[in-house]
Amino acid sequence: MDPTTLGLLAVAAALVLIFLRTPIAFALGGVGLAGLWLFFSLPPGGGFNPTGHIPALTKATQAYFTLFHAYDLSAVPLFVAMGHVCYRSGITRDIYDAARAWISWIPGGLAIASVMGCGGFAAISGSSLACAATMGRVAVPEMTRSGYSDRLAAAAVAAGGTLGALIPPSILFILYGVFAEQSVGKLFLAGIGPGLVSMAGYALVIAIWARLRPGDAPAARRPPGGRLEATLRTWPALLIFAIIIGGIYGGIFTPTEAAGVVMILSIAISLALRRIDLRGIREAMRETAYQTAALFLIGGGAAVFSSLVALTGLTRSLVEIVTLMDLPQAGVLAAVILVYLMLGMFLDPLGILLLTLPFSIPLVEQQGVDLIWFGVLVVKLLEMGLITPPVGMNVFVISSVTQPSVPAGRIFAGVAPFFAMDLLVVALLIVAPGLALWLT
C-alpha cells in the first residue's frame, strides 16, 4: 500500500472515530496500531508480510514507553494533585472572594470578579473544565441572586474558565512541549502575557455589556468582611503561583521540580490551616490517579498515531505541497488558524492538539515560525474551542452544574462577545509576538 495513502486513510479514520465520540485514547491508539500493522504487512513493493504484526507491536510499545518515561510529563500528576488539594481546601475559592470584596459594588463587578477568580483558579489547577465546573457552582448562583442575567453570569464563567488552558501551569502546555520538543518552562512563561490580556479583555466585554444593558449587571452589595482580610486570605494561592513562576524564571528549578515543590507545599499549607484532613488528601490523590491515567492513555495513543504519521511520510508530503504553493508565512498561519477554529467546533482541545501536532509543527517550522510562540497561539485557539458551538465543553459543563440549569443556547448566545474578544487577542498575538515572548 502506498504510505501516503495509508496516512491519509488513518487521519480520516481517526477523525471519524473522534466525531463519533470514541474515546480519544482508543481512537488514536487503535488507528495508529492498525495503520502500523498495514504499513509493515503490506509494503509498497507488493506482497503480504505475515509477520507484520511484530514490528507494528514493537513500534507501538516503543511509542508508549518513550512517552511514559518523558521527564517533563512527570509534572502532570503533581500539578493535577496540587489543583485537587487546593480545590478541596478552599484556596481557589479565596481568590474569587477577594476579587468580589473589591469590585462587586460596581456594575458588572461580580462578573469581572468571577473572571478574575477563574484566572486565579487557572493558575492553581491548570484545567479549564475543572475551573468552569467549580466557578460555575460558586459564582453563577451568586450573580443570579444579585440580579444578574443568567446569560451574562454563565457566559462570563464559561469564558473565564478557558483561562485554565493558558495561564500556567497548563496541562496543554506540558503536552505541547513534550510532543514539540520545546521547553515547558518557556511555554509557561510565554502564556502569562496572553493570559492576562485575555482576562483584561473579558473584563472589558463585561464593562461594555453592563453599560449597554444595565439591567443584566446591577451593582451588588459588598460581601461581609473587610477587603484587606479577604485579600490576605489569598496568600497561599499567591505563594504557590510565585514559586512556580519565580522558581522557573529565576532558574532555581525546572517545571517538574516546581510541580513537586508546590504539590507538597499545598498539602502542608492546607493541613496547617486545618482546611483539609487525611481523608480529603486521600480523595484528592484518588481523583489525581484517575485524571492522570486518562491523560497518559490519551498521550500514549497519540504517540502511536504520530509514529504512523512519521513512517508514512504524510507530514513531509504536506510540507512539500505547501512549499510548491509558495504561500507566505501569513498565508500558512491563516490556514492553520482556520483549521484549529473549525476543529474546535466539534472536538475537545486535547484531541485536537494531539491529532494536529504531527502536521502543524513541521509545517510552521518550515516557515521559520518560533515554536514557543506557536504553542501559545495553538493553546489560545484550543481554549476558544471550549466556548464554540456546537460542542463547546465549558458551556455544557456550566449548564449541567448550575441549579436551576442555564440552557446551553442562552450561554452560547452570551459567549459571542467574549469569542469576539478572543479573536482580537489572536490578532494581537500575530501582530505583536513579543506579547508571548517577552518573558522567555
Query: Does residue 298 lie within any of the structural domains?
Result: no
Query: Does residue 53 lie within any of the structural domains?
Result: no
C-alpha cell at 335: 490556514
8 A C-beta contact, residue 126 and residue 168: yes
**9-43 pLDDT tens trace:** 998 998 888 888 788 889 889 999 999 999 999 88
Residue 372 pLDDT: 95
Domain that holds residue 178: 73-276+397-437
What does the mean pLDDT of the chain come to? 86
Phi, psi of 329 (to 5 degrees): -55, -40
Residue 50 pLDDT: 84
**376-418 pLDDT tens trace:** 999 999 989 888 887 788 888 888 878 778 888 899 999 999 9
8 A C-beta contact, residue 348 and residue 394: no
| Nearest of 13, 29, 24, 14 to residue 61 by alpha carbon | 29
Domain count, the chain: 1
Intra-chain end-to-end CA distance of the chain, in Å? 45
Query: Does residue 213 lie within any of the structural domains?
Result: yes
Query: Does residue 380 lie within any of the structural domains?
Result: no
**318-367 pLDDT tens trace:** 777 777 777 788 888 888 888 888 888 877 788 788 888 888 898 898 88
**Alpha helix (H) residue ranges in 150-183:** 150-161, 171-180
pLDDT at 200 over 90: yes
Query: Does residue 111 lie within any of the structural domains?
Result: yes
Q: Cβ atoms within 10 A of the Cβ of 328, count?
A: 9
Secondary structure letter of residue 96 according to DSSP = H
Query: Does residue 90 lie within any of the structural domains?
Result: yes
**High-pLDDT (> 70) share of the chain, %:** 97
Query: Does residue 425 lie within any of the structural domains?
Result: yes
**116-134 pLDDT tens trace:** 888 877 777 667 777 787 7
**Alpha helix (H) residue ranges in 213-348:** 227-232, 235-249, 255-272, 278-312, 314-325, 329-344
8 A C-beta contact, residue 435 and residue 191: no
Question: 443556547: which residue's cell?
Answer: 409
**249-282 pLDDT tens trace:** 888 888 888 889 989 999 999 999 999 999 999 9
| Nearest of 205, 154, 175, 168 to residue 28 by alpha carbon | 175
Residue 131 pLDDT: 76
How far apart CA 413 and CA 342 sit, in angstroms, is 18
**Which of 72-76, 174-178, 208-212, 313-317 is the least confident region?**
313-317
Residue 222 pLDDT: 63
- Please indicate whether residue 190 or residue 102 has the higher confidence score (pLDDT): 190
The CA–CA distances, whole Å, from 158 to 111, 242, 289, 387 equal: 11, 26, 26, 7
How far apart CA 281 and CA 267 sit, in angstroms, is 8
Query: Does residue 122 lie within any of the structural domains?
Result: yes
